[in-house]
Amino acid sequence: MNSTRASSITDTIAAIATASGRGGVGIVRVSGGSLTAFSQALTGRTPEPRHATLADFRAADGAIIDRGLILYFPAPASFTGEDVLEFHGHGGPVVMNLLLSRCLELGARLAEPGEFTRRAFLNDKLDLAQAEAVADLIDAATATAARSAARSLEGEFSGAVHALVAELIDLRMRVEATLDFPEEETDSLWVADVVNRLDRLDARLAAVRARARQGKLLQAGLHVVLIGQPNVGKSSLLNRLAGDDLAIVTSIPGTTRDALKSAIQIEGVPLHIIDTAGLRETGDEVEKIGIARAWKAIAEADIALMLLDARAGLTTADRAILEKLPPDIPRVIARNKIDLMGEAPGKTLEGADITLSISVKSGAGLDLLRQSLLEIAGWQAGEDVFIARERHLQALKTGARHLASARREAGTPCPALELFAENLRLAQNALAEITGEFLPDDLLGVIFSRFCIGK
């Protein structure tokens, strides 16, 4: 077993594995060492492995808590790699809690968030990227995100990373062998071969990074903040994109006092649209608070979508808003109300800014808006994306940086093989963090603490 995953877990854990609230079926899951005695105490029988067995779930005094199915998955062929029991009963919150309390009476403790999946990782049933994909599959906001998470859970992302690590290991072996015989000169053919292999490795890493960036977009979504002066159509645009009357729309400036959020999807990509208070000078204390919250939302957004009235054009007040935007946030300027001018929808590029001519009222140009948001995000439709997280992107970026350093060293007239080898080692460690083969122990707690209890 990998030393990172070495575990001395001996206790038994239990949790309700189904969502809170009422339902037709509820499940309490237990994982630990030998659980045959546990099953006997709660149901009076030892179930046959991997067969659904009808049983009464009994309290300590013999009273029936519920009647349902028990499933037994003996170690090591279970999700966690330990003995696992699942009690399938009626999905009422009271009966589920009574059943869980009985499990705790029998010696189990309440599982921490993500602890079942963490044990699966520690027992080599899943690598870390697959374990994270479990949570991403549960949290998927679109069908595209769910399919991508399923690919990661099946090991597609991990397989791509393992292939890169294997190439790095093979290359390191060649370099280390050369370092063991320093009296031998490094000939030009050896260097040329190493450079060619580095180039191929860099290209493969770039392809994995591109797929991971798409996966990160599916996992986290895109946060788009609507900004502009009062009464330019921000709330109407939110309602149009969401397909519902989420925001109050009136002709009175300053109607929107707080940030309103709506989750939509475009081509399977989750978009979190945030409508903010109109940005202007005001003496209204409540409106001032809304404007302050608008600037906070802008600071946290991925894209700033600024609406202006096409009839007035880009006013001095609009320019003042643009100048106050964070310099690194992509911007889309939407000239709204072109229907009042008899103007056709269109798109122009002005430096780094995209300017669109649209009508929120008629819907003209909204398809251009949707596609422009995806373009800025770097989305490329396809079915080969695997779900990824920010830590994965950072690990891939670090690996690419060390690989580039090794490539530069190999291209010098007299390459320092020790430095070259060290960069290969650092690149390998960075990539191995993704699957958990090389990982700081304290990071595990952070990752699994974000899982739901019972998974």
237 and 290 co-located in one domain: yes
- Helices 128-139 and 441-448 sit at what angle, rounded to 10 degrees? 20
95 and 151 co-located in one domain: no
214 and 238 co-located in one domain: no
440 part of a folded domain: no
Q: How high is the pLDDT of residue 401?
A: 95
76 and 150 co-located in one domain: no
Shortest CA distance to 438 belongs to which of 199, 128, 212?
Answer: 128
Residue 222 pLDDT exceeds 70 = yes
Write out the H or E segment, with its range, that includes residue 146: helix 143-153
398 and 367 co-located in one domain: no
186 part of a folded domain: yes
256 and 348 co-located in one domain: yes
Distance separating alpha carbons of residues 236 and 406, to the nearest angstrom: 53
Residue 455 pLDDT exceeds 70 = yes
Shortest CA distance to 353 belongs to which of 396, 319, 399, 392?
Answer: 319
Q: How high is the pLDDT of residue 38?
A: 93
118 and 210 co-located in one domain: no
Residue 412 pLDDT exceeds 50 = yes
Residue ending a domain, among 377, 397, 422, is: 377
What does the mean pLDDT of the chain come to?
Answer: 83
What's phi and psi for 258, nearest 5 deg? -140, 165
Q: Which residue has the higher pLDDT, 353 or 49?
A: 49
Show Cβ contacts of residue 58 under 8 Å, excluding neighbours closer than 6 positions: 42, 43, 44, 64, 65, 102
248 and 146 co-located in one domain: no
User: How is residue 411 written in tokens?
Assistant: 């291209």
Domain count, the chain: 3
> Which residue carries 């009985």 as its tokens?
102
In the sheet that holds 13-16, the strands lie side by side as 53-58, 64-73, 83-91, 23-32, 13-16, 109-110
Per-residue pLDDT of 85-113, as tens digits, reads 999 999 999 999 999 999 999 999 999 99
Shortest CA distance to 455 belongs to which of 11, 138, 47, 221?
Answer: 138
Q: Which residue has the higher pLDDT, 417 or 262?
A: 417
Residue ending a domain, among 74, 99, 124, is: 124
Shortest CA distance to 152 belongs to which of 169, 167, 166, 139?
Answer: 139
For residues 246-254, average pLDDT: 39
Domain span at residue 413 reads: 138-218+389-435
359 and 413 co-located in one domain: no
Q: Give CA separation, 30 vs 39, 118, 335, in Å.
A: 10, 14, 58
Ranking 77-81, 159-163, 203-207, 223-227 by mean pLDDT, the lowest is 223-227
322 and 361 co-located in one domain: yes
281 and 156 co-located in one domain: no
Distance separating alpha carbons of residues 399 and 372, to the nearest angstrom: 31
452 part of a folded domain: no
Distance separating alpha carbons of residues 45 and 31, to the nearest angstrom: 17
Residue 54 pLDDT exceeds 50 = yes
176 and 280 co-located in one domain: no
Q: DSSP assignment of 2-38, as one string?
A: -GGG-------EEEE-S-SS-EEEEEEEEEES--HHH
225 part of a folded domain: no
What's phi and psi for 418, nearest 5 deg? -65, -45
Which of 60-69, 194-203, 439-448 shows the highest mean pLDDT? 60-69
User: How is residue 440 written in tokens?
Assistant: 């700081």
**Residue at 333: amino acid letter:** I
For residues 393-401, average pLDDT: 95
For residues 6-22, average pLDDT: 81
